């Protein structure tokens, strides 16, 4: 677009023959229409820029909302992953606790088995000791019985042998005395029998020879009776002597029996002493047996305790079986949880793939946002440059318009002075025809405007000196709302360009989410 030539600093006086007012008016109207077209084009461009900026803002808002939704999805996925991780950790902890419980139960079972084995060994050793003690007690009892029997039998045999020897001696003496008495009595009886037989034979012979001599026979019978009495007396004396001998023998037997009783009492004392020693040994053995019995009772109690422990071990085995069943159930639940964890891992993989896709979309979105930011920055810079150019053009135009207004004001003052002079001077019809008539205010204003726009002085006559009103005030641009918006947009784009891209700070690539970042 060609700009209008600036007005010359020195006003050029119009020649008597100048351009026609119609051509100047056309020129001015064309210039005004051109300026209007340029302004409308600039307004259209500005509206298009505003629309594009609004579209970019809407796109930025949509991308920000999409980014917010993606971030929310990432947060939800991270929360789901954390919950799944917590559930997996709980499952692993439960499995570790179950394994630790099984290990402790196995250790307890092994310890119970070892204790039972040691107690069985102790019971076996104690039973062996008890059997050994029983055998020792039995052997000691047998030895004591054999010793006592040997001592008693030996003492009895010695006593009986001594008594038998003494009795044999006494019996032999008695037999000797009895044999001597028997022989004496036999001899005396035989002598008396022979004498009686002789007397009887004599009596028979005498009775047979002379039955009449009764007196002689009576006397003979008396003599025989006397002999018999004497023989009886002799027998009685022999009996008395035998009785005396028997009494002596009885006395000797009593003495022997007393001596035997005294010796027997001494032997009995020794026997009693030995029996007392044996009884004390037996009592000691009984005490030992009691101790052994007490120890056996203790061992029986220990055996009962071991049996109770065996029952406890059986109950523990049942409990272990129940625990095994529970562990099997927990293993089944853990297997189901592992399957669920596998499914969750697959879901996590799918979510990770989705996250990767979302990250790719976010990367493309961030690239688009970055490109849009760059485009918007370029557009903002171009818009700022355009606005700057517009501001500079408007400033120059305002300066030119101020100069033109000042010149127009001067022309108006000149026209007023001319009108006043013409009103003061008398005019005739000829002068009015020959000279220029009075101009109306509108025609004067249009002529002055055309002359000013054409760069020529409007007054055809000499212009008197005009008062100096000074230079027109300079146009100072005031900041508008759009300028503030451009400044904010430029600072935002500068800050966004200085920051790293979102994909370099994605939660999956960095291994952790922004929400879990350490402050």
pLDDT in tens, the chain (519 residues): 444 555 544 444 444 445 566 688 888 888 889 988 989 998 898 888 888 888 888 888 888 888 888 888 888 888 888 888 888 888 888 888 888 999 998 999 899 889 888 888 888 888 888 888 788 878 877 887 788 777 777 777 777 777 777 767 776 776 777 777 777 767 776 776 677 677 667 766 665 655 555 555 556 656 655 665 666 666 667 666 666 766 666 666 566 556 656 655 666 566 567 656 656 766 776 676 666 667 667 666 766 666 666 666 667 667 667 766 766 776 676 677 667 666 766 766 776 676 677 667 667 766 766 666 676 666 667 666 666 665 666 567 667 766 766 676 676 667 667 666 665 654 444 344 444 444 444 444 445 444 444 444 433 433 334 334 344 444 444 555 566 666 766 676 666 555 544 444 444 444 444 444 443
265 shares its domain with 345: no
Q: Is 0.75 topped by the overall pTM? A: no
480 shares its domain with 361: yes
260 shares its domain with 360: no
- Please count the structural domains in the chain: 2
Among the candidates 335, 359, 375, a domain finishes at 335
227 shares its domain with 183: yes
Does residue 126 lie within any of the structural domains?
no
357 shares its domain with 328: no
Does residue 112 lie within any of the structural domains?
no
168 shares its domain with 305: yes
Backbone dihedral region for residue 46 (phi beyond 0: left; psi -120 to 50: alpha; all else: beta): alpha
140 shares its domain with 272: yes
Does residue 517 lie within any of the structural domains?
no
* CA distances to 322, 416, 489, 491, 504 from 494, in Å: 71, 60, 8, 5, 18
Contacting residues for 495 by C-beta, under 8 A, at least 6 apart? none
Domain coverage including residue 294: 135-335
- Nearest-Å Rg of the Cα atoms of the chain is 85
Q: By the 8 A CB rule, do 95 and 334 touch?
A: yes
232 shares its domain with 297: yes
194 shares its domain with 232: yes
Distance between CA atoms of residues 184 and 227, nearest Å: 17
**Residue 497 neighbours by CB distance under 10 Å:** 11
- Report the SS3 class of residue 4: coil
Which helix (DSSP H) or strand (DSSP E) does residue 461 occupy?
none
324 shares its domain with 350: no
**Residue 447 neighbours by CB distance under 10 Å:** 19
Distance between CA atoms of residues 517 and 293, nearest Å: 79
Contacts 24+ apart (CB under 8 A), 433-440: 439/415
């Amino acid at each position: 677009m060609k700009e209008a030539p600036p007005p010359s600093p020195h006003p050029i006086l119009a020649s008597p023959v100048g351009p026609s007012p119609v051509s100047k008016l056309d020129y001015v109207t064309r210039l005004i229409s051109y300026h209007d077209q340029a302004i409308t084009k600039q307004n259209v461009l500005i509206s298009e820029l505003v629309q594009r900026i609004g579209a970019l803002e809407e796109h930025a808002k949509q991308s920000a909302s999409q980014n917010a939704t993606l971030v929310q999805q990432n947060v939800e996925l991270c929360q789901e992953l954390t919950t799944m991780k917590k559930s997996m950790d709980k499952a692993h902890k439960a499995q570790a606790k179950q394994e630790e419980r099984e290990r402790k139960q196995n250790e307890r079972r092994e310890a119970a088995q070892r204790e039972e084995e040691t107690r069985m060994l102790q019971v076996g050793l104690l039973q062996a000791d008890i059997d050994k003690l029983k055998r020792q007690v039995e052997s000691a009892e047998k030895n004591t019985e054999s010793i006592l029997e040997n001592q008693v039998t030996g003492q009895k045999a010695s006593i009986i042998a001594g008594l038998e020897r003494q009795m044999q001696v006494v019996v032999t003496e008695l037999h000797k005395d009895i044999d001597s008495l028997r022989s004496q009595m036999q001899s005396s009886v035989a002598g008396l029998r022979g004498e009686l037989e002789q007397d009887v034979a004599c009596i028979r012979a005498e009775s047979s020879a002379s039955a009449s001599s009764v007196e002689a026979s009576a006397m003979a019978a008396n003599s025989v009776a006397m002999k018999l009495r004497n023989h009886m007396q002799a027998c009685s004396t022999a009996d008395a002597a035998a009785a005396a001998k028997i009494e002596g023998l009885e006395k000797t037997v009593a003495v022997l029996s007393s001596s035997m009783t005294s010796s027997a009492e001494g032997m009995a004392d020794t026997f009693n002493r030995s029996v007392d020693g044996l009884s004390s040994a037996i009592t000691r053995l009984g005490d030992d047996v009691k101790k052994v019995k007490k120890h056996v009772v203790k061992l029986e109690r220990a055996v009962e305790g071991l049996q109770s422990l065996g029952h406890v071990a059986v109950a523990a085995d049942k409990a272990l079986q129940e625990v095994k069943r529970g562990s099997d159930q927990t293993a089944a639940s853990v297997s189901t949880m592992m399957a669920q964890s596998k499914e969750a891992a697959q879901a996590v993989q799918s979510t990770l793939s989705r996250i990767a896709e979302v990250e790719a979309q976010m990367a493309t979105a961030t690239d688009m946002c970055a490109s849009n930011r760059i485009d918007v920055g370029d557009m903002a810079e171009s818009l700022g440059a355009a606005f700057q150019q517009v501001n500079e053009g408007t400033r120059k135009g305002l300066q030119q318009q101020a100069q033109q207004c000042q010149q127009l004001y001067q022309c108006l003052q000149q026209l007023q002075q001319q009108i006043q002079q013409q009103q003061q001077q008398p005019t005739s019809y000829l002068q009015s025809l020959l000279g220029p008539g009075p101009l109306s205010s509108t025609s004067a204003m249009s002529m002055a405007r055309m002359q000013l726009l054409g760069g020529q002085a409007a007054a055809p006559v000499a212009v008197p000196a005009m008062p100096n009103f000074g230079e027109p005030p300079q146009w100072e641009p005031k900041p508008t709302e759009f300028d503030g918006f451009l400044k904010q947009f430029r600072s935002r784009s500068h800050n966004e360009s200085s920051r790293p891209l979102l994909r370099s700070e994605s939660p999956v690539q960095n291994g952790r989410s922004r929400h879990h970042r350490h402050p």
